[in-house]
Structure 1
Amino acid sequence: MTRRSKRIARTDEVRNFRMNSEPIDLDSDLEVVDVDADPKELKSDTLLPETIPDIGNDNDEKENLDSLSMHETSKSRKQKHKKKKSKQKQKNVELSAKEASILSSVMKIAKKSPSTETKAKETLVQEESSPKPDVSGTEEGRDDAAHNGSDEEISIIQVVEVPSEQKFLRKRASKETHPSNKKHKSVEEEATNDTSTENALSEEEATSHTDTENELSEEESYGNTKISPQIDVNELSFESKKLPSVIEVESSSEDEMVEPPTSQPVSSTPKSSIRLLYNSSYKLTDELTDTDVNVDTVTVHDLVGAPDLLETFQFNFNVDLEYFLTFLHPNFAKNKRKIVFVTGTAYLAGHPLREIIKAKYNISECIAPLPNRFASHHSKMMINFYPHDQVEIIIMTCNLTQLDFGGLTQSVWRSGKLKRGKTTAKLGSRFKQDLERYLLKYKMATIEKVVQRLRDYNYNSVGVELVASAPGTYSIDHIDENDETYGYGKLRQVLQRNDLLIKDTEKHHNILAQVTSIAYPYSSRKGDTASILSHLLCPLMFSHWKKHLEPGTQSTSKHQEEFKYKPQLVFPTVKEVASSNFGFLSGSAVHFKHSGSLIHQKQYEQNVKPYLCKWSTPENVTGRERVTPHVKYYACDNGDGWNTLKWVLVGSHNLSKQAWGYPEAKSKGQTFDVASYELSVLVPGSGKNLVPVFKKDVSSDTITIPVRFPFKLPPTRYGENDLPWSAGSDYGKLKDRWGNLHNGGYSV
């Protein structure tokens, strides 16, 4: 069989899961359905789990810090393994053809004695392909969880993938990790050495961050099972859990970067400035190819893997430190180039491998000051410096974790490499000024030095507005074009100065918000609630701004009728999360509590349920139907049924008062408070013909300006039996695509 390039599964650690939270009652109208197409094909004694993993803090992970470059190998050969069920506990666990097709990625890590050196050995397991239908394999969960922090030796393996529905794990000795070593054992030799004992998954507790009030953190952690550097299946431990694993693309050499398939570039055709991050989760199901789902996408290596990256500042909410560092080119560590993490939580200071990391990298961190326990540093930005006095600014929706990179829908805006020079363009000048002001809100010497450097660059090529949030109290009474403001006041300012406010109320306009977290209402009175979308954001989009709508539906219904609009709120349903490529596992990134208290229930009934729309469609329209969202989109059309767009905003802002701010009661609405750091970009449609595009970054003509969307427009309204996903709910006998049950919440 001809050799061909294979993908490499990158993992630094695979973690253990546990569910401890108390279940709560599920609304009675939820239809209990097994998502699996054919339950008969699932065996009762497979490796697939029946519970959902813990959420945890990624900064407790461990990885090999002396073997950070991964190597891509390729080999195709035939294999035939049939193992009887009676011998399954002594051999690799046999998977059905369907299960193997779904579970094409498996990641394991070896756990060594605490007395061993913390230096880790990197081992690889090679992808294979075979036309035979029978399978021998081992399967377990993803690699993004909290760890107990003891000194351990880590081994990294590569995933076996068989296109003809036959998947298995292949061992490889650690001495073969170097790309120049081409010696590989045959499949038969590997099978002979694969003996297994009773599977026993050790469980560890994890901690979680809180993103917004009454919400769990957006971020996820996953259980880790470890195997020895010899990848002996005797040391694989399981507990009948079925979990997908993340596949990350890695190049076969230090200088070669793996690119996703892209459409043929057409110089005269405008491209979307909003891009999607490459997503590998369809590899788990073999249902769609990269050409179906990953055209014109951006890889993590595109962002930080260049060999000439000189310095990078990483602003984020959640960081899987060791994992993210592996995406940097080896030159970065070798030449002691500078990397600074700006977060709301210390990921380096208390890290068990802190000294090893600092010995290898020129690394430091800045901890953003937060005004209260509900505030967060939720911004997601990279500032990357390159040779020849160039810099690139990247604003995105993803955290620096494995679930975010491989299991969720993410978007990216890139400035492109800016050079030194004077900025004269209006949009570029505004972006430059707003970015500098935002960075100065940190009041940190390290970041102030970055501001001084950024002032020398030419931003004329930037065609978006920056919409930022930063902690503070701001006036809403009168906002001039160049005033410094944040949160929902900033959105109003940007819309006004770009002539994007809705003036023509003769047309029916569509206003949309797609988020992954809906927080507590910012105000309530006698059972009536006031929510961010319905009571704050929608009214400010009109030239005649009614700044204060009373809590409840009477005020919003009157406003919507008067101004001829109805909001659309895109949020994944329970069944959409269950049937996604990562199943319930991906639900750890989506937060909305619609029961549990009277206020939660009232907000849901009054300000959320009437506007809910589905994330996905049955057809492959966008290439992200089966990938749970972590993007945040806000948009308004031109009163033409979403044929064209007035503006689009993409970034980190969820629907919470911490993110957007809320009116201070004592000021009678003249001032408002913002608690969190957020960053989004707004693509203005003034003077342009913005159009939504799907599955690619270009439109069908050279006149319109495309904006990439990961969900269909117009979105589909919820059906009678649809419920929004809530991580705290008990979904009874409903199974996700992996056969998991979700009994409510993620324990800490």
Structure 2
Amino acid sequence: MAEPPAKRRRLSGAAGESTRSPGPASLTRSISPPARRRAAVAATTPATAAAAAPLSPAPLSLQQRKLIPSPFRLTTIRDLPDAANADAVSLHDLLGDPLISECWEFNYLHDVGFLMGHFDEDTRSLVKVHIVHGFWKREDPSRLMLHEEASQYKNVTLHTAYMPEMFGTHHSKMLILFRHDDTAQVIIHTANMIAKDWTNMTNAVWQSPPLPLAKDSSPGQPDAPLGSGAKFKADLLSYLRAYNTKRDVCKPMVEQLAKYDFFAVRGSLVASVPGRHAVEDDPSVTRWGWAAMKHALRSVPLESGESEVVVQVSSIATLGGTDAWLQRTLFASLSSSSHKQNPRPGFKVIFPTPDEIRRSLDGYASGGSIHTKIQSAQQQKQLEYLRPVFCHWANDTPGGVDAGGLSSQLGARDAGHKRAAPHIKTYIRYNSSSCIDWALLTSANISKQAWGEAANGAREARVSSWEIGVLVWPEVLADDKEAKMVGTFGTDTPPADGDAKADTEGKGGLARDTSGPLVGLRIPYNLPLQRYGPGEKPWVATAEYKEPDWMGQTWSSWGT
């Protein structure tokens, strides 16, 4: 479910936002997979050495293992210590390059002044900035405010996305950058373009490497292997062309982007475009919503045996009085596999409770970006079928109980973000070898609008909203069938022996005699997960909470 437009909230105390400090410079390191056959050597900083170091010396073969940093990077958190921000990326890191000549910014919520403030101060007035939004009603207050803000900058142009579905939103979060050195870059992330999301809330970013100009302009190869740069390019251009269905929104930009070489990109685009889309087997057709995820996972190699998918979101829409859509459409697509003999994975859903919001860095103010409802009879039924799979964001809640499962086999792991409330959205499949089969970073929450409904006997996907994400798996990132992916905590780079602690504790850690490439995946939440205890409920932004948060504030909403 998309975040609803900002509504008036009443806090018992003031909750102002201060200007964030600039984060570490990091554009010099590409987090997309390295070029083929290029070795990657792990390096740790003093702040992350303790988290990354193995508990016992690794064999020489492991010390020489090819290590690949996480393709997803967390965003910096203003009020956390430096150690928790190791390898994190700030908005200034993404936009502060003085060589940027043009920026296309796709999002749901926009603060034009905030966006412009993160370009290089000497060149920001020269950057051609295009903002794509979904406020199609001319009288929409959000649209009127956006136009007023943009009018203060001569180099800012607004574009309204094509919105054919009444209840859909333009929820995609993406930056497309062009530079004076004839390179381009695609950045897909989870944060609204507002200060709140880039300050004290957990979000994440996927960056393409710098894309050079291609020898020949090409629309990509729709039938290229899934995970290849050629396929990614074809699907991204197909997504962008969908904006131009009724009018020219970004046609010149699409033509410009087609001139760049995506060879170094590794990953699969999983996006949603509003409308009714046939679910086809033609490899040249880009699929959308649940059909895109289902099709992609049919090509992703999996470990045999049991597995579990941990879904972590910041919003859950009204899904219905039964779990039919959740199980038969969303969970079924996330269960898709190239190994049909594998049992269906178990599922967990991470969503914060009021207690976790109260104790977050911004207290109740964080809750304005996190949404679900449990007021109506139908929503109460939804809560009952979700309760068995609900898990806490922070695993230090007094009422929580150990959730068990494959993710818990990794033992105690501290991501360092339990007080930074989640706006990030991740879908991760853990296997019985304490490794990760695949991971998705996306703007899509748990909602029919985002993933679509199965219509016309499941021969069509009916999607309402714009969403975008990137699916990755170890083989495609390392260009090696022997590659493994492991979760990393407090650092982007995995230790050479995979998960030494889990191994020494007999919890199914990665085999120490495995010498194939090792890919890290930055996990934003702590392990082991905790299930909701009896009587616990998810945070509801439209409810009233009289118990003060850690800053002494209470929460009530009105005008909703």
Bucket of the pairwise TM-score, normalised by the shorter protein: 0.7 to 0.9
| Correspondence for 1:585 among 365, 376, 397 | 365
Number of the residue aligned with 2:533: 719
Superposition pairs of residues 120-159 of structure 1, within 5 angstroms:
none
> Aligned equivalents of 1:217 and 1:736: distance in 2?
23
Contact 1:593 1:600 in 2 (8 A): yes
1:722 to partner: Cα distance: 2.7
- Please list every run of 5 or more consecutive structure 2 residues that lacks an aligned counterpart in the other structure: 29-42, 50-63, 397-411, 476-480, 498-516
Number of the residue aligned with 1:517: 315
1:245 to partner: Cα distance: 2.9
Number of the residue aligned with 1:431: 232
Once the two structures are superposed, residues 422-469 of structure 1 have per-residue CA deviations (whole angstroms, 9 ceiling, x without a partner) of 679841011100000000000143512111111121112111111000
Q: 1:635 to 1:439 in 2, by over 3 A?
A: same
1:572 to partner: Cα distance: 0.7
Number of the residue aligned with 1:530: 324
Q: 1:353 to 1:597 in 2, by over 3 A?
A: closer
| Correspondence for 2:548 among 716, 725, 735 | 735
> Aligned equivalents of 1:370 and 1:353: distance in 2?
18
> Aligned equivalents of 2:395 and 2:143: distance in 1?
45
Number of the residue aligned with 1:599: 378
Number of the residue aligned with 1:394: 187
Number of the residue aligned with 2:67: 269
| Correspondence for 2:109 among 303, 318, 333 | 318
Contact 1:305 1:327 in 2 (8 A): yes
Number of the residue aligned with 2:521: 707
Q: 1:345 to 1:332 in 2, by over 3 A?
A: farther
> Aligned equivalents of 1:392 and 1:259: distance in 2?
11
Q: Does 1:496 align with 2:291?
A: no
Once the two structures are superposed, residues 30-63 of structure 1 have per-residue CA deviations (whole angstroms, 9 ceiling, x without a partner) of xxxxxxxxxxxxxxxxxxxxxxxxxxxxxxxxxx
Number of the residue aligned with 1:572: 352
1:637 to partner: Cα distance: 1.8
Contact 1:663 1:673 in 2 (8 A): yes
> Aligned equivalents of 1:565 and 1:725: distance in 2?
27
Q: Does 1:448 align with 2:261?
A: no
SS at match of 1:569: strand
> Aligned equivalents of 1:297 and 1:572: distance in 2?
22
TM-score where L is the length of structure 2: 0.77
Contact 2:349 2:391 in 1 (8 A): yes
Superposition pairs of residues 228-247 of structure 1, within 5 angstroms:
241-243=13-15, 245-247=17-19
> Aligned equivalents of 2:344 and 2:535: distance in 1?
28
Number of the residue aligned with 2:463: 674
SS at match of 2:531: coil
SS at match of 2:232: helix
Superposition pairs of residues 127-276 of structure 1, within 5 angstroms:
212=2, 217=4, 241-243=13-15, 245-250=17-22, 263-264=44-45, 269-276=67-74
| Correspondence for 1:636 among 429, 433, 454 | 429
Once the two structures are superposed, residues 621-672 of structure 1 have per-residue CA deviations (whole angstroms, 9 ceiling, x without a partner) of 11211010000011112233xx1111000110100111000022xx233222
1:684 to partner: Cα distance: 1.8
- Letter matched to residue 455 of structure 1: A
Q: Does 1:747 align with 2:541?
A: no
SS at match of 1:442: helix
Number of the residue aligned with 1:657: 448
- Letter matched to residue 728 of structure 1: T
Once the two structures are superposed, residues 689-709 of structure 1 have per-residue CA deviations (whole angstroms, 9 ceiling, x without a partner) of 111111111000183100111
Number of the residue aligned with 1:58: none
- Letter matched to residue 383 of structure 2: Y
Contact 1:348 1:364 in 2 (8 A): no
SS at match of 1:592: coil
Number of the residue aligned with 2:119: 328
SS at match of 2:328: helix
> Aligned equivalents of 1:269 and 1:257: distance in 2?
22
Number of the residue aligned with 2:488: 693
TM-score where L is the length of structure 1: 0.59
Once the two structures are superposed, residues 539-585 of structure 1 have per-residue CA deviations (whole angstroms, 9 ceiling, x without a partner) of 2344589xxxxxxxxxxxxxxxx935421001111111111111111
Contact 1:481 1:497 in 2 (8 A): no
> Aligned equivalents of 1:544 and 1:621: distance in 2?
30
Identity of aligned residues (%): 28
SS at match of 1:439: helix
RMSD, aligned α-carbons: 3.1
- Letter matched to residue 530 of structure 1: A
Once the two structures are superposed, residues 395-435 of structure 1 have per-residue CA deviations (whole angstroms, 9 ceiling, x without a partner) of 00001101101021010000021101267984101110000
1:720 to partner: Cα distance: 2.4
SS at match of 1:332: coil
| Correspondence for 1:361 among 154, 174, 180 | 154
- Letter matched to residue 67 of structure 2: T
Superposition pairs of residues 8-47 of structure 1, within 5 angstroms:
none
Q: Does 1:467 align with 2:254?
A: no
- Letter matched to residue 722 of structure 1: E
- Letter matched to residue 339 of structure 1: V
Answer with 536-545 or 645-654: which moved more.
Answer: 536-545
SS at match of 1:331: coil
Question: Which structure has the larger Rg?
Answer: 1
Contact 2:150 2:158 in 1 (8 A): no
| Correspondence for 1:294 among 81, 85, 89 | 85
- Letter matched to residue 479 of structure 1: D
SS at match of 2:196: helix
Number of the residue aligned with 1:207: none
